[in-house]
Amino acid sequence: MTGPSTHTVIGSCPLDCPDACSWVVTVTDGEAVRLRGNPDHPFTAGGLCKKVNPWLKHAADPTRLLRPHRRVAPKGPGVPFAEAFEPIGWDEAIDDMAARLTAIIDTTGTAAIWPFAGTGNVGFVQGCGVPVGSRLWNHLGVSGHHLTICSVSGHIGLGYSTGTGAGMDPEDVVDAGIVVIWGSNTLVANQHWWPFVERARGAGAPVVVIDPVTTRTALRADLHLAPRPGSDAALALGLCRQLIADDAVDHTFLADRTLGFDEFADSLDPWTIERTAEVCGLEPGQIVQLATLLADHRPLALKLGQGMQRHAGGGQAARVLSCVPALLGSFDHIGGGLVYSTDDPYRLNRVGASGRHLGDRPRHLAMTNLAANLLDVDDPPVEALIVHGANPVVSNPDTVRVREGLSRPDLYTVVIDIFATETVDYADLVLPSTMQHEQWELNNSFAHLYLNLNRPAVEPPGECLPHTEIFRRLARAMGLDEPALYVSDEELISELLDTEPYRTAGITLEVLKEKGWVRVPAAPSPYRPFADGFPTASRRFEFVSERAEADGHGRLPNHRPPVEAGPAGGSWSDRGSGCYDLIANGSDGHVNSVFAGTALVRERSGAPPVVLHSDDARRDGIADGDRIEVSNDRGRFMATAIVEPGTRPGVAATAKGAWSMDVNATVAERDSDMGRGAVYHDNRVTIRSLGRTEGRPSSAKS
C-alpha cells in the first residue's frame, strides 16, 4: 500500500501589506495541510505575520461563501444571510448579472456601471494591480475607478519634488546613518523590514519614530516625537530651517542636483523652532534634538508611512518631508533617501494586460467618494456597482452615507468575496471567490524588489471561482466576441512579463514557476533610483515646482493645516471637554478588514478599544474599562476605553477594519489636497462615558 502523496507549492501573500511575503504550501492528497513562510526569500526570509499564519483556517471557515446567492429579502443589516439570500447556480447567477448590466447599458448607458475594486487582493491577475476585469470594463466603456483609498496623496506630492513615488531599496537601510520612521507602525504594518532597521541600529544608526500615537514601533525607538495630527509638514519645514541655519546641508548636492534651493530657504523664515514647536505641540528642544541627530548621522533613510498623508494637506506633507533628505544629500548615498514605494522598478506591462486599447471610459469615479457618487451623481446616476476585493461599509469614510447609498432600491449591487461582509448586507447578487492558494496570481511589493508568482496549490472548495473566470463567463453571457476577454490567467501573466527588462533578463512565466520569485531586473543591487537624475522636468530634485504651481499646490512646499484635527496653536484644553482627534491605525490582528469578521479573529483580537491619555480621561470622567460613545455630527460608534499616561493628550487612538464597529462613521467623505485621497486622521470627535464594563481589553496601540 502506498502512502499519502505530498508536495509543496511556492506562492505569495496577496494582502494589502508592503511585505508581499513568499510562502510555501504543503499539499497532501490534494489538501493544503500547511502554509509557512518561504525561507529562501531574501526579504521575508521564512516569516509570516500572525495575520496570515491562520490562512488555511480562514479558508476552511464554515462561514466561507461556497455558492452564488441571490437576494430574496430587503437590503440592509439585521437579517441572517441564510434568510436574506437563496443559493443559485453559476449559470443563473451570471445570466442574471449579464441581463441586468445589458438592460442598464441599453436604457441609461455604460457610464451607469461602476466596477468598484478594492485592495483585498493587490495582485495583478485577480487583484487591484491592473485591476482584474479591466479588459471587460474597457471594452464595454463603463465608468472608471480611481483607487484613492491608500497612498495616492503621497505619490502625487512626491511627484512634484522627486518626480516619482519611487524610493530606495528598503534593504539598503542597513547602511543608513539614521532611520526616521514617519507615520508608520512598522512592527505591525511592515514587520519584515524591521530586521533591516535593527541591523542599521546595530551599526550605530539611531532610530526615530514620528507618530502622534505611542505605537509598538514608537516604543522601540531611540527617540519618539508625537506631533499633533496633521502637523507633519510644519515639523518638516522647521527641521529644514534648522538644518540650514546649522549649515548641516550638503552644498554639493544642492548645487548640482536640485532646483530652487535658495528660494526654498528664503521661504522658511517663518518656521522658527518656537513657531514649529507651537504648531506641532512639541517642546522646542525635541525639534533641536532631532535636527542635531540628522546633522550628525548620515545618510538619512526616511520611511514615509500612510498615516501622515491622511489629512487635508497629506500630499503637501509628503512633498515637504522629501526635502529633508534632499538638504542632507542623502539621495546620493546607499542607505539614504526615501523608503516609500518600490513599485516603479517592476516595469510590468500593465497597459497591455489591462487592455486599455479595447476602449475608453466615459468618466472616472473616486472610490473614497462612494457615498457622494451613489447619492449625488446623476449624469448619469450609478445604477450598477460591482464590488470585488472591497468591503466599503467597513473601509470607506462616512459609513452612514455609504449605507444610505448602498440601500438605494434601484441600485444593482454585485459583491464578489469569500465571506459575507457587511457590504454583502446590501448586495443583490453574491459570488464566491477563490483564495490565493487556489488561484494564479502575480504579486509585486511596495517594500522590496522581488516579484512573486503564486501558483494554485489546490482546487477551490465548493463552487468558488477566480475573479478572472467570473469576468470571462460574464463576457460570454453578454455575447462579447473580443478574443482578449478570454485569455487564460497564465497568458495574462506572460503578457505582464512582456516588457524590455524581463525579456532582456530572460524572465518568463516558466522561470518564475521554477523559483517562485525573482529580483526585478530594473533594480540591480545596489539600487540607486536617482543616480542618473530625478524624473522631473529639470532632472533635478525640485524644491520649487512650476507643475505644482500650475496644479494649484504652490510653487514651494508648504504646510496646509488640517481641517478638523488639532488647533493651529495653543493647548489641547482650548477645545473643551470631551473633544479629541481620532486616529484609527492598522490592526495587529488583520489587514484592513480582511478576515476581521471571522470567529477566529474576533476571538483573538476582540473589538479594538480606544486609548486615551490619563489627563484627558480624568477631565472627561472616563475611567479605564468604561464603555464609551465616540461621535460627531456624521456618526458614532461604541468602544471600551483604555486609559494610559503615555498617549498624546488630545488624541484618541483605535484600530481600523473591525466589523460591526463603524469607526468610519465619524470620518468625513472629504478629499485631501492631492489625488482625492481620504482624510481618515483629520477627524475630530467627542467622547463620553456610558459607564463601567467588565474586563479590560488589550491595548489598541498594536
pLDDT of residue 150: 84
Distance of CA 545 to the CA centre of its chain: 27
Over residues 58-86, mean pLDDT = 97
Residues 156 and 249 in one domain: yes
Decide if 592 is inside a domain: yes
pLDDT of residue 97: 98
pLDDT of residue 570: 36
Assess whether pLDDT exceeds 80 at residue 388.
Answer: yes
Assess whether pLDDT exceeds 90 at residue 229.
Answer: yes
Give me the DSSP letters along 249-291. S-HHHHHHHEE-HHHHHHHTTT--HHHHHHHHT--HHHHHHHH
pLDDT of residue 4: 85
- Provide the pLDDT confidence category of residue 697 given band limits of 50, 70 and 90: low
CA-angle at 589, arms to 655 and 153, nearest 5°: 50
Average per-residue pLDDT for the chain:
95
Assess whether pLDDT exceeds 80 at residue 198.
Answer: yes
Instruction: Compute the distance between CA of residue 67 and CA of residue 90 in angstroms, rounded to an integer.
Output: 8
Q: Distances in Å between the alpha carbon of 291 and those of 238, 287, 325?
A: 9, 6, 12
Find out whether 393 and 425 touch, Cβ atoms under 8 Å.
Answer: yes
Residues 368 and 473 in one domain: yes
- Provide the pLDDT confidence category of residue 702 given band limits of 50, 70 and 90: low
In the three-class reduction of DSSP (H, G, I as helix; E, B as strand; rest coil), residue 235 is classed as: helix
C-alpha cell at 348: 510590468
CATH number of the domain at 206, please: 3.40.228.10
CATH number of the domain at 386, please: 3.40.50.740
Amino acid in position 473: R
Decide if 169 is inside a domain: yes
C-alpha cell at 609: 478599544
Over residues 323-346, mean pLDDT = 97
pLDDT of residue 604: 87
Residues 415 and 452 in one domain: yes
Instruction: Pick left, alpha or beta for residue 398 (phi over 0 → left; psi -120 to 50 → alpha; otherwise beta).
Output: left
Assess whether pLDDT exceeds 70 at residue 571.
Answer: no
Q: Which segment, 253-262, 569-578, 691-700, is predicted with the most confidence on average? A: 253-262
In the three-class reduction of DSSP (H, G, I as helix; E, B as strand; rest coil), residue 575 is classed as: helix
Over residues 449-455, mean pLDDT = 98
Distance between first and last Cα of the chain: 51
pLDDT of residue 578: 85
Decide if 414 is inside a domain: yes
Instruction: Compute the distance between CA of residue 310 and CA of residue 232 in angstroms, rounded to an integer.
Output: 11
Decide if 700 is inside a domain: no
Residues 189 and 335 in one domain: yes
Question: In percent, how much of the chain has pLDDT > 90?
Answer: 91
Over residues 432-441, mean pLDDT = 98
Decide if 470 is inside a domain: yes
Q: Distances in Å between the alpha carbon of 268 and those of 15, 246, 562?
A: 41, 14, 20
Q: Distances in Å between the alpha carbon of 369 and those of 361, 515, 581?
A: 18, 41, 22
Q: Is the peptide bond before 131 cis (omega within 30 degrees of 0)?
A: yes
- Provide the pLDDT confidence category of residue 574 given band limits of 50, 70 and 90: low
pLDDT of residue 606: 85
Characterize the bridge pairing of strands 69-71 and 85-87: antiparallel
pLDDT in tens, 25-71: 999 999 999 999 999 999 999 999 999 999 999 999 999 999 999 99
Decide if 238 is inside a domain: yes
Decide if 281 is inside a domain: yes
Describe the chain by its helix, strand, coil percentages, rounded to 5: 35, 20, 45
Find out whether 137 and 112 touch, Cβ atoms under 8 Å.
Answer: no
Assess whether pLDDT exceeds 70 at residue 576.
Answer: no
Residues 187 and 314 in one domain: yes
Sign of CA dihedral 538, 539, 544, 545: positive
Residues 579 and 541 in one domain: no
Amino acid in position 642: I
Residues 417 and 488 in one domain: yes
Instruction: Compute the distance between CA of residue 126 and CA of residue 535 in angstroms, rounded to an integer.
Output: 31
Any idea how long the chain is? 702
pLDDT of residue 573: 44
pLDDT of residue 645: 86
Instruction: Compute the distance between CA of residue 637 and CA of residue 655 in angstroms, rounded to an integer.
Output: 13
C-alpha cell at 11: 506562492
Domain that holds residue 645: 572-692
Decide if 284 is inside a domain: yes
Residues 126 and 257 in one domain: no
- Provide the pLDDT confidence category of residue 675 given band limits of 50, 70 and 90: very high
Where are the alpha helices (H) located in 108-231, listed in sequence order?
134-140, 152-161, 186-189, 194-202, 216-219
**Of 232-236, 572-576, 678-682, which gets the smallest average pLDDT?**
572-576
pLDDT in tens, 619-644: 999 999 999 999 999 999 999 999 99
pLDDT of residue 572: 42
Residues 227 and 144 in one domain: no
Over residues 187-210, mean pLDDT = 97
Total number of domains in the chain:
4
Residues 335 and 400 in one domain: no
CATH number of the domain at 12, please: 2.20.25.90
pLDDT in tens, 3-26: 789 999 999 999 999 999 999 999
C-alpha cell at 146: 480611481
Where are the alpha helices (H) located in 18-130, listed in sequence order?
55-59, 81-84, 90-107
Residues 364 and 400 in one domain: yes
pLDDT of residue 291: 98
Residues 492 and 610 in one domain: no
- Provide the pLDDT confidence category of residue 177 given band limits of 50, 70 and 90: very high
Strand-pair partners of 642? 611
Assess whether pLDDT exceeds 50 at residue 172.
Answer: yes
Q: Is the peptide bond before 299 cis (omega within 30 degrees of 0)?
A: yes
